[in-house]
Each structure stands twice: as structure tokens, then as C-alpha cells.
Amino acid sequence: MDHLAQLFSTCQQWLFETVVQPALFHLGMSNFIEDAYDATMWLLVGLIQVAVLVLVFGPLQRLRPVEAVRDRQQVWVDVLYTLVHRLGLFRVALFFAVDPLFDAMFGQFHLWGLATFQLDQVWPGVTDGPWVSLLLYLLLFDLVDYLYHRAQHRYAWLWALHSLHHSQRQMTMWSDNRNHLLDDMLRDALIVVVSQLVGVPPAQFVAIVAITQLVESLSHANLRVGFGRWGSRILTGPRFHREHHSIAYDASSPGPVGGYNFAPLFPIWDILGRTARFNGQYGPTGIHDQLPENGGHDYGRGFWAQQWRGLERLFGRQARSGGGVPPAAGDPPAPAEISSTPPAQRAPAS
């Protein structure tokens, strides 16, 4: 791990001195030099992730696709979402909009003498090892993501934003970041608070984000692959997560908090929460109100149209006309809560 960290640091230094620092001086923003060096770290992580997507996940999708891509324009919109998030543009926006608030809040906590809990010191000599602590942090943040994801499917105001993610009918390796920006800001704020409370070192936090994002890109891929009986219970894969996106019982219908297979990394949380389904097929994805027989609801085809319609759903403008807000608990299932593809025509499990 030390050799990898050194190599990464060298690449970060080169990228900063070659590209980022000259650009800041040219733009008259030299006062952000110190913060820009940290931002270069996220840029480099993003470039590595995009390279993995293009060079590894892309060929796998072409080798064993679940379905032929019919709407490439929507895939390109997902590519835009991915680049905005993975290359640091979204984090730059958070830096100016949210970070000052967090700095002030945690600074006040320190003045009050409130110490953070050091998770990696639970068992000195064991949990403070780099690999063990990384696993502990991954498990913790995956649990946080699991609980937040369930809330997104339970509460109407969160679903109004999160439904954008489920509106993609052509899931690919680029679909993970297809989210409303406000939804991402809320989720990232929660992650930052938790990371501060448990004392995650910056280098570990970067590794956690990178690993989580890559696994999520893989789990959204247009890839017909399963991890087997036991592997699928250890790590979330394309088959397991595609069941979560199934149009057959999407999140706007009643059920155990509106769906199944919520965990981004480790299905153990779905198993413990009784929301795991391991017998899913590679059926159609999307939201049932997108089907013509259910009104053919349009969630927007362009980036800004999708963002605007998410706000409309959030503030109730579309709720009165079937805008994708889930029914209250106890309402009867929607009559069209079935897949648009007959079971006999669905792809077999692998």
C-alpha cells in the first residue's frame, strides 16, 4: 500500500504542477493554490476511475451485454453526469457552497471540547492496520448509504429527487451518477458528517470513495454476470443491483420500504434488513409510470431538464398529475406494477 500511495502522490504532484497550478495563475486564482492541490487528488482519482470504466468495464459490457442499447442519447447524458462527479466539478461546487459551513460547524465542536470517535482505535494493533481499517470504514459507510438509500425510497420528498436515478431505461456503467444534484448534496453532506465523527484519515476517505464508486459503476453496468451463490452475498454485482432497478416492482410501489437490494457494496445489509433478493433476472429497468399504459411520464431527456423536473416533483407541481411520488404506506399496489416484458421473454440467469 505504501508503494501505491507514493506513486499516487507523485502523479498528483505532477498533475498539479503541470496543469492545475498554471491554470490557476492564468485565471488569477492563486489564492486557492493550497485547496487546489487537494482538489487535484480528486481529479486524479476521477481520471483513474474513468480509465477503468473505458478500458475494463466497457469491453465487458460489449462482451456480455444484458440488452442492446436503443437510446444512446440518454447514455451520453449519463456520461455527462459521471464526468461532472468523477472529475471533481461537483466537489468544487460543494467547496464553495457547503464546505465553509462544515468547517465552521466542526470548528465550533472542537472549541466546545467535543472529540470525535476514532473507529480505527477500537482494537489497537488490529483495527488500526491500513487494510483492516479500510474494511471497517467501507462497512460503516456502506451501512450509512444503505439506510439513506432506503429513506430515498420511503419518503416522498426524497423519492421526488431519487426517482431521476431510476428513470434510466438503459442502464450502463455510466448510470451510477445519474442523480439530482440536490440529492447528491444531501447524501454527501451526510457522508462528510459521519467521516468527521469517526475520524476517517483523508487518504482512507479518498480510497473509500474511489472503491465505492467503482463498484457502483460495475453494479449498474449493462453486463450479464453474476457472482455465484456465495459471491453475490459478499459483493453487490450487476445482477443483484439490476433487480433493484426492475420496473416490475419499482420504488414508487408499496413493499418493504419500496424495493429491494439497496446496499451499494455489501449485500449483508440487505440480508440483515430483509430486503435482499438473489433470484432476480435481467429484466427491464425504469419506473412503472414511464410505461405508455401508465401515462408515459417523462422525467426529462437532457441534464438541465432532468434537474428542473426533479425540483418540480419535490415542490409538488407534478404530484397532482402522477409525477412519480410514491403512494403512502398502506395504499394498494398500482395495477400496472408488472414488467413490460413477459417472464418467458426475459433473459435467463447466468
DSSP state letter for 64: S
The predicted structure's pLDDT at residue 109: 66
Residue 337 confidence (pLDDT) above 50: no
Q: Among the listed ranges 69-78, 152-161, 254-263, which one has the minimum average pLDDT value?
A: 254-263
Question: Cα–Cα distances in Å, from 347 out to 83, 173, 284, 341?
Answer: 31, 19, 10, 10
Q: Across residues 211-217, what is the average pLDDT?
A: 96
| 39-82 pLDDT per residue, tens | 888 889 999 999 999 999 999 999 999 999 999 999 999 999 99
Phi, psi of 285 (to 5 degrees): -115, 165
Q: How far apart are CA 27 and CA 61, in angstroms?
A: 40
The predicted structure's pLDDT at residue 341: 40
The CA-based diameter of the chain, rounded to the nearest angstrom, is: 64
SS3 (DSSP) at 128? coil
Q: Across residues 150-179, what is the average pLDDT?
A: 93
Average model confidence (pLDDT) across the chain: 82
The predicted structure's pLDDT at residue 16: 86
Q: How far apart are CA 123 and CA 105, in angstroms?
A: 29
CA nearest 160: which of 328, 309, 347?
309
Q: Across residues 262-281, what is the average pLDDT?
A: 94
Question: Cα–Cα distances in Å, from 6 out to 9, 10, 14, 104?
Answer: 5, 6, 12, 32
